[in-house]
Structure 1
Amino acid sequence: MAGPCSTGAPAAGWKSHIVRQLRRRDRMQKALFLELVPAYNRLLEKAELLARFSEKLQPEPNDVTPSTHQGPWEEESWSNSDQVPSPATRREKWQEEKEGLRLVCGEMAYQVVEKSAALGALESELEERRRRLAALEAQVAQLREKRAQQVSLVDARRARNVAQQAAYEALRSQARLQEAALRSLQEEARNLLERLVQRKARAAAERNLRNERRERAKQTLVSQELKKAAKQTVSISESPETLGNEIREKAEMTLTVPAEPVFLESEAGEKWKRPFRSASATSLMLSRCVDVVKGLLDFKKRRGHSIGGVSEQQYQSIPVCVAARLPTWAQDVLDAHLSEVNAVCFAPNSSLLATGGADRLIHLWNVVGGRLEANQTLEGAGGSITSVNFDPSGSQVLAATYSQAAQLWKVGEAWSKETLSGHTDKVTAAKFKLTRHQAVTGSRDRTVKEWDLGRAYCSRTINVYSYCNDVVCGDHVIISGHNDQKIRFWDSRGPHCTQVIPVQGRVTSLSLSHDQLHLLSCSRDNTLKVIDLRVSNIRQVFSADGFKCGSDWTKAVFSPDRSYAVAGSWDGALYIWNVDTGKLESILQGPHCAAVNAVAWCYSGSHMVSVDQARKVVLWH
Structure 2
Amino acid sequence: MKESETKNVWKAHVICQLRRRDREQHHNFRELVHAYSRLLERSGVADAILAAAGRRSDSPPSLCGVRLKRNSAELAYQAVEKQQILESQEMALEAQRERLALEERRRAEARHARRQLRLGAERQASENGRLKGLYDALMERRRLAERLLRQEEVRGGGLLDDLVSLKRHAAARLNRRNDRRASFQDVHLLKDLQTAATSKVNVESSVSFPHRTCSTLKKRTCEKSPGRLSRSVSAPESSPKILASFREFFERRRGQSSRAWADDDEKEEEPARPFRIPTAARLPARALHVLEAHEQDGNTVAFCSSSALLASGGTDRVVKIWEVQAGTLRHRTTLDGSTGGLTCVQFDPAGHRILAGSYDKSALLWCLDRPVAKLTLTGHGRKVTAARFSRHQVLTASADGSLRMWDPQRAACVHLARVASCCSDAVCLENVAISGHFDHYIRFWDSRLSGCVHRVSAGGKVTSLDLSADGRHLLSCCRDDVLRLLDLRRWSEHSAAFRAEGFKCTSDSAKVAVSPDARYVAAGSTDGAVYVWNVSAGTLEARLGDKHSAPISAVCWSTSGEYVASVDKKGRAVLWSDI
Partner of 2:457: 504
Aligned mates of 2:123, 2:377 — CA distance in 1? 39
Deviation at 1:282, TM superposition (A): 5.2
**Structure 1 residues 147 and 488, CA, compared in 2 at 3 Å: closer, same or farther?**
same
- Write the mapping of 1:582-601 to structure 2, written as runs, cut at 5 A: 582-585=538-541, 596-600=552-556
Partner of 1:158: 118
Deviation at 1:555, TM superposition (A): 0.8
Which among 386, 402, 421 is matched to residue 376 of structure 2? 421
- Is 1:555 equivalent to 2:511 in the alignment? yes
Which among 469, 492, 497 is matched to residue 542 of structure 1? 497
Q: Is the 8 A contact 1:333 1:591 kept in 2?
A: no
Q: Is the 8 A contact 2:512 2:554 kept in 1?
A: yes
**Structure 1 residues 252 and 353, CA, compared in 2 at 3 Å: closer, same or farther?**
same
Q: Is the 8 A contact 1:324 1:563 kept in 2?
A: no
2:476 is aligned with what amino acid?
A: C
**Structure 1 residues 305 and 321, CA, compared in 2 at 3 Å: closer, same or farther?**
same
Q: Helix, strand or coil: the match of 1:53?
A: coil
In structure 2, the gaps of 5 or more residues are 1-38, 61-66, 223-228
Deviations along 1:504-560, one digit per CA (max 9) or x if unpaired, are 3576434355x5555544255756454668899999543448877565422111247
Which among 397, 403, 417 is matched to residue 465 of structure 1? 417
Which among 110, 125, 134 is matched to residue 94 of structure 2? 134
Q: Helix, strand or coil: the match of 1:465?
A: strand
Deviations along 1:70-128, one digit per CA (max 9) or x if unpaired, are xxxxxxxxxxxxxxxxxxxxxxxxxxxxxxxxxxx9xxx99x99x99999988877665
Deviations along 1:144-164, one digit per CA (max 9) or x if unpaired, are 112212212222232233233
Partner of 2:358: 401
Deviation at 1:134, TM superposition (A): 3.0
Q: Helix, strand or coil: the match of 1:464?
A: strand
1:509 is aligned with what amino acid?
A: S
Aligned mates of 1:125, 1:321 — CA distance in 2? 110
Deviation at 1:190, TM superposition (A): 4.3
1:136 is aligned with what amino acid?
A: Q
Deviation at 1:172, TM superposition (A): 3.4
- Write the mapping of 1:389-538 to structure 2, written as runs, cut at 5 A: 400-403=357-360, 404=362, 406=364, 417-418=372-373, 420-425=375-380, 426-429=383-386, 442=396, 444=398, 446-449=403-406, 461-466=413-418, 469-470=424-425, 481=435, 483=437, 485-486=442-443, 502-504=455-457, 508-513=463-468, 515-517=469-471, 520-522=474-476, 524=478, 528-530=483-485
Deviation at 1:464, TM superposition (A): 3.1
Q: Is the 8 A contact 1:358 1:383 kept in 2?
A: yes
Q: Is the 8 A contact 1:389 1:430 kept in 2?
A: yes
- Is 1:53 equivalent to 2:64 in the alignment? no
- Is 1:386 equivalent to 2:343 in the alignment? yes
Aligned mates of 1:366, 1:203 — CA distance in 2? 31
Deviations along 1:243-274, one digit per CA (max 9) or x if unpaired, are 544555567999x99x99xxxx996787x957
Aligned mates of 1:380, 1:335 — CA distance in 2? 18
Q: Helix, strand or coil: the match of 1:383?
A: coil
Q: Is the 8 A contact 2:376 2:411 kept in 1?
A: no
Partner of 1:564: 520
Moved more, 591-600 or 162-171: 591-600
Deviations along 1:279-318, one digit per CA (max 9) or x if unpaired, are x855875786687567556544534555xxxx34436859
Partner of 1:148: 108
Aligned mates of 2:565, 2:249 — CA distance in 1? 58
Aligned mates of 2:432, 2:282 — CA distance in 1? 27
**Structure 1 residues 201 and 409, CA, compared in 2 at 3 Å: closer, same or farther?**
closer
Q: Is the 8 A contact 1:365 1:372 kept in 2?
A: yes
Aligned mates of 2:252, 2:519 — CA distance in 1? 51
Aligned mates of 2:434, 2:463 — CA distance in 1? 10
CA RMSD, 1 decimal: 6.5
Which among 598, 606, 609 is matched to residue 566 of structure 2? 609
Q: Is the 8 A contact 2:521 2:535 kept in 1?
A: yes
| Higher RCO, Cα 8 Å, sep 6+ | 2
Q: Is the 8 A contact 1:360 1:385 kept in 2?
A: yes
Deviation at 1:138, TM superposition (A): 1.7
Moved more, 396-405 or 159-168: 396-405
Q: Is the 8 A contact 1:244 1:281 kept in 2?
A: no
TM-score normalised by the chain length of structure 2 = 0.59
**Structure 1 residues 421 and 323, CA, compared in 2 at 3 Å: closer, same or farther?**
closer
Aligned mates of 1:383, 1:42 — CA distance in 2? 104
Deviation at 1:169, TM superposition (A): 3.0
Q: Is the 8 A contact 1:427 1:441 kept in 2?
A: no
- Is 1:324 equivalent to 2:286 in the alignment? no
Which among 569, 579, 603 is matched to residue 535 of structure 2? 579
2:364 is aligned with what amino acid?
A: A
Aligned mates of 1:611, 1:347 — CA distance in 2? 20
1:153 is aligned with what amino acid?
A: A
Aligned mates of 1:448, 1:252 — CA distance in 2? 66
Deviation at 1:53, TM superposition (A): 3.4
Q: Is the 8 A contact 1:342 1:358 kept in 2?
A: yes
Deviation at 1:417, TM superposition (A): 3.9
- Is 1:342 equivalent to 2:313 in the alignment? no
**Structure 1 residues 200 and 394, CA, compared in 2 at 3 Å: closer, same or farther?**
closer
Q: Helix, strand or coil: the match of 1:142?
A: helix
**Structure 1 residues 177 and 54, CA, compared in 2 at 3 Å: closer, same or farther?**
closer
Aligned mates of 1:120, 1:543 — CA distance in 2? 98
Q: Helix, strand or coil: the match of 1:485?
A: strand
Q: Helix, strand or coil: the match of 1:576?
A: strand
Deviation at 1:465, TM superposition (A): 1.2
**Structure 1 residues 174 and 545, CA, compared in 2 at 3 Å: closer, same or farther?**
same
**Structure 1 residues 282 and 214, CA, compared in 2 at 3 Å: closer, same or farther?**
same
Q: Is the 8 A contact 2:534 2:541 kept in 1?
A: yes
Q: Is the 8 A contact 2:301 2:565 kept in 1?
A: no
Partner of 1:454: none
**Structure 1 residues 211 and 363, CA, compared in 2 at 3 Å: closer, same or farther?**
closer
1:161 is aligned with what amino acid?
A: A
2:101 is aligned with what amino acid?
A: A
Moved more, 194-203 or 552-561: 194-203
Q: Is the 8 A contact 1:355 1:364 kept in 2?
A: yes
Aligned mates of 1:400, 1:210 — CA distance in 2? 40
- Is 1:302 equivalent to 2:294 in the alignment? no
Aligned mates of 2:563, 2:154 — CA distance in 1? 47
1:542 is aligned with what amino acid?
A: A
Aligned mates of 2:546, 2:557 — CA distance in 1? 19
Aligned mates of 2:281, 2:350 — CA distance in 1? 22
Size of the aligned set, in residue pairs, is 500
**Structure 1 residues 355 and 130, CA, compared in 2 at 3 Å: closer, same or farther?**
farther
Aligned mates of 2:77, 2:572 — CA distance in 1? 86
Aligned mates of 1:367, 1:125 — CA distance in 2? 100
Aligned mates of 2:495, 2:345 — CA distance in 1? 27
TM-score normalised by the chain length of structure 1 = 0.56
